[in-house]
Structures are given as structure tokens and as C-alpha cells.
Structure 1
Amino acid sequence: MSVDLSEYEESGVRVIVVNGTLDAPGTMSIEDDLLASLRGETRPVILDLSQLDYLSSYGLRMVSTAGKLMLESGSRMVLAEPNEHVMQIINIAGYDTVIPVFGSLDDALHACAG
């Protein structure tokens, strides 16, 4: 299965919706473009994971790299609405202690805009 990204801005926050599967091929198909688009980004970014079916170690590495880029830019990235399986992978890898994860997009928007 493939993956694609869409995005919009809400309340000064950039929301990137990840739709599909972040396995090795899916991650490789979007990683360069996503990371390039985040370099120098000053707005907070939410990765909306509500449409993400699967997250592999490749996808986790990309998310980690994206979070580091945001910190280097003086901003931050959070994750929103992962399904139960994706959240379990995030927890097992310990990424929930590094990148904030919110159960709803509204909670993520409130945290980023406030």
C-alpha cells in the first residue's frame, strides 16, 4: 500500500495528514520531500496520523528525524490521533517520551496554538 501526504493550516499550525502505510517503500517515497519541507519551518507542525494504517521502523526513523528538524528550527512537532496499533508501536519504541502524542487533533491544535 502506498502513502501520501496532504496538508493545511489551522490557527497558525501546519497540519500534515499522513494517509496510508509507512512501511519501508512508503517511507522512502515521501521522506525526502517531507524533510525538505520542514527545514526552516517556524510554525508548529502536527502530523495527523488518523489515516495511517501501519508504522514501521523506517517510518519511526523518519518521524524522529522530522522532530529533530523542527527543534533545530526553533519550533516543534507533535503527533495526533494514531490508531491503537500505531500507538502501540510508538510506545514500544519509546517515541512517546520524545515527541508529544495527542489522542485528538483538537488537543494537538490546542497544545500547539496555546
Structure 2
Amino acid sequence: MRARIAKYRSRPLVVGEDPVIGCLMITQPVFFPDASWVAQPRDWPKNVVAGKRYDLQKDEGQRIWRACLTNAPVALVDATTAIPAAAAAPGAAIPPPQSPPPGRRSARRSRG
């Protein structure tokens, strides 16, 4: 198992090292009907292990953010704020993504 983990790391495993393996949990998922699915990013790698991110203010990130807001009657940005889908109308200002509320982890992988 150590060899399999080492294969995906950016630096070699040191003898005796106990690598941190983590995961992210989605706490408020929104499921779209099949007809409203959003296409995955055009540049999405085949094998993502960790750390892939998109800036929601430009390029693919913006396309996905806008499509999600358009396809959902209400898209939850965090536990206390909802943005009506009308805010994502063509030409409308894109609501900026918000930081997670205190006590929540971001989508960034932590190394312990």
C-alpha cells in the first residue's frame, strides 16, 4: 500500500513516514435533473488525486459557476446565504464565492 501511495506523491516517501491521507465531505449537495447536468471542465485531468481547483471568476470555473446558478432554483453558497438563479442571468454580476464559515474546512487539502 505504501508503494501505491508513494506513486501519487510529489515527493518521495521517507522510510518510516506516515503520510496523511484525507478526504473532503460535501455537506450541502445539490442534485440537478439529468437534463440540467453541467459539463465537466474541458481541462479536467483523467486522474486527480488532490488539489485541483478552479477560479470561479474566470474561464472554466466561471462557466461552471454560472451554469450551476442558472440550473438551480436556488444555489446555496454557504449555510446561511442563498442566491436566486436570476442572479446568474446572462450579463448579471457573478456572485463571488465565499469563504467557508468559521469551523468549516475549505476545499484545500490540509497536510496535518
Return the TM-score normalized by structure 1. Answer: 0.29
Compare relative contact order (CA 8 Å, sep 6+) and give the higher one, 1 or 2. Answer: 1
Higher fraction of strand: 1
When normalised by structure 2's length, the TM-score is 0.29
Greater helix proportion: 1
Kindly name which structure, 1 or 2, has the bigger radius of gyration based on alpha carbons. 2
